[in-house]
Chains A and B, each alone.
Chain A
Amino acid sequence: MAKVVAVTGNEAVANALRQVNPDVCGIYPITPQTDMMQRYASFISDGKVDTEAVLVESEHSSMSACIGASAAGGRVVTATSSQGLALMWEMLHIAAGDRLPIIMPVVNRALSAPLNIHGDHSDAMGARDTGWIQIWSENGQEAYDNTIQAFRIGEHMDIRLPVMVCMDGFIISHSIERMEYLDDPEVKNFVGPFKNLYPLLDLDKPKSYGPLILTDLYHEYKRAQHEVMLKTKDVVLEVAKDFEKLSGRKYGLFESYRLEDADIALVILNSAAGTSKDVIDEFRGKGIKAGLLKPRLFRPFPYEEVAEALKNTKAVCVMDRSDSFGGYGPLFMEISSALYQLKQKPALINKIYGLGGRDYLPSHAEEVLQELHEIAQGGKLKIIKEYIGVRE
């Protein structure tokens, strides 16, 4: 039986981790994630989990400890944000290249400089090419559900990859929402016992991780790494189906909101999707066919499926809460790549919003939808990339 609770995003994800009860957890504080690992440390101190906490001196060390523990044969978790994720950078590649299914909630926060502790997506977008699976979450419920599903996805014997579960810093991590918890035995049963692939602690079968591989085979290893990412989509859907049976909550590669007959659409990640849906409803009320696509699986990116979902639209705006200075926003680049393969493409624009936790307001969504509506009516596409909610 599900239990209805009022909790923060951090609290919900810490509780998901408690229900899974992993073997090892690398812990290093960073705002806004700190509160999640602090709660988890309490679970350890109170004897509610059997996890061994490794208290380290940096996130680089935290990820290193996780890699060691995972190669040794444990079920391993950690969590981070912003500068912490940036400091892990080289180790993220190693976790993925070694095919170690480490699960890591990422509480999205802006990157320095200037120093800012609030929610934007610059941190996880910077880790886009590390070889980790990335799953994004709109609210606390999704962050909780995605964390539980992440274990089944990353640890799947055909996959064996690390997974980041992203949620917006403060907006979700520190806001209390009504949500549902699964029962402990349900989660335990859903996730199942941890299965090893090549544990170092199986001393009868000695093995080595991290060999030197030069021009003779490196290219082949990277090709193989891409292949496993291609298999991931099916596993994500299979796990989502099982999760729906358990929870009644449905997940896919992305969420389509009123998109089936839409002329105009927003593509937007995480918490701002919630605000946008309200405004979509208002536009529908005015007789304008507006819809929304909210990516969930960002790596691997479901290009064909996204193109299929947007192919009948006339104008689309991709909203990025991070930037590539001198380039388009990272989400825009993916959507643009997906749509290029279509014979008939919608007009496509890019808005950068909400950097460093700047509020994303319904009025912003209204402005963008109005612009899309005009473009769809035959208006001129003026500028491709633009900042919204920015003072002149």
Chain B
Amino acid sequence: MKQKGWKDLVPGSVILEGGSAARFKTGSWRAYRPVWKEENCIQCLFCWIYCPDMSVKVKDGKRGEFDYDYCKGCGICALECPGKKGNKAIVMEEEGT
């Protein structure tokens, strides 16, 4: 793709469309990956509330898989997860192992 020259730019670096950040897959920053253990999940949705992005997908009031395109692996969901009988429903695993 030909890169833009200085005469091709929008004044003030304004981005003239909505939602373009969706094209920026920030999940590539992740060093640790949250893994959902459905058997320990009580569907409290704390992970969905606490996620600073929108990487916990919920459908019909039920928690689904992580959106790994945007999850940066901050680990907040795993920390907040109450789990079931002392067993976490979210655990962090090192990427690439």
- Interface, chain A (partner B; CB < 8 A): 97-100, 160, 197-198, 205-211, 213, 216-217, 220-221, 223-224, 227-228
Contacts and interface: CB of A to CB of B under 8 A. Distances in A.
B28 to A, nearest CB: 15
Given A207-B18, A227-B6, A160 B11 contact: yes
A97 B17 CA distance: 19
Contacts of A224: 6-7, 9, 11
Nearest to A100: B12
A213 to B, nearest CB: 6
B13 interface: yes
Contacts of B7: 224
B97 interface: no
Q: Which of A100, A205, A211, A220 has the most CB of B within 10 A?
A: A220
B11 to A, nearest CB: 5
B14 A207 contact: yes
Interface in B16-74: 16-20
Given A198-B16, A227-B6, 18 more contacts: A98-B14, A99-B12, A160-B11, A197-B12, A198-B11, A198-B12, A206-B18, A206-B19, A207-B16, A207-B17, A208-B14, A209-B13, A211-B15, A221-B6, A223-B6, A224-B6, A224-B7, A224-B9
Contacts of A197: 11-12
Interface residues on B, range: 10 to 19
B5 interface: yes
Nearest to A94: B12
B4 interface: yes
Q: Which of B12, B14, B18, B19 has the most CB of A within 10 A?
A: B12
Interface of B, secondary structure class, is: loop
B17 A221 contact: no
Contacts, number: 54
B31 to A, nearest CB: 20
Nearest to B8: A220
Interface of B: 3-7, 9-20
B12 A160 contact: yes
Contacts of A205: 16
Contacts of A100: 12
A358 B8 CA distance: 49
Contacts of B15: 207-208, 211
Given A216-B3, A217-B4, A206 B17 contact: yes
Contacts of A98: 12-14
Contacts of A207: 14-18
Nearest to A206: B18
Contacts of B3: 216-217
A160 B17 CA distance: 20
A220 B11 contact: no
Contacts of A221: 6, 9, 13
Contact of B13 (A206, A213, A227): A213
A97 B13 CA distance: 8
Q: Which 3 A-B pairs have the closest CB atoms?
A: A206-B18, A99-B12, A220-B6
A227 B7 CA distance: 9
A303 B94 CA distance: 59
17 contacts: A98-B13, A198-B16, A206-B18, A207-B18, A208-B15, A210-B13, A211-B13, A211-B15, A213-B13, A217-B3, A217-B4, A217-B9, A221-B6, A221-B9, A224-B9, A224-B11, A228-B11
Contacts of A206: 17-19
Q: Which of B5, B15, B19 has the most CB of A within 10 A?
A: B15
A153 to B, nearest CB: 16
Given A216-B3, A217-B4, A220-B4, A198 B9 contact: no
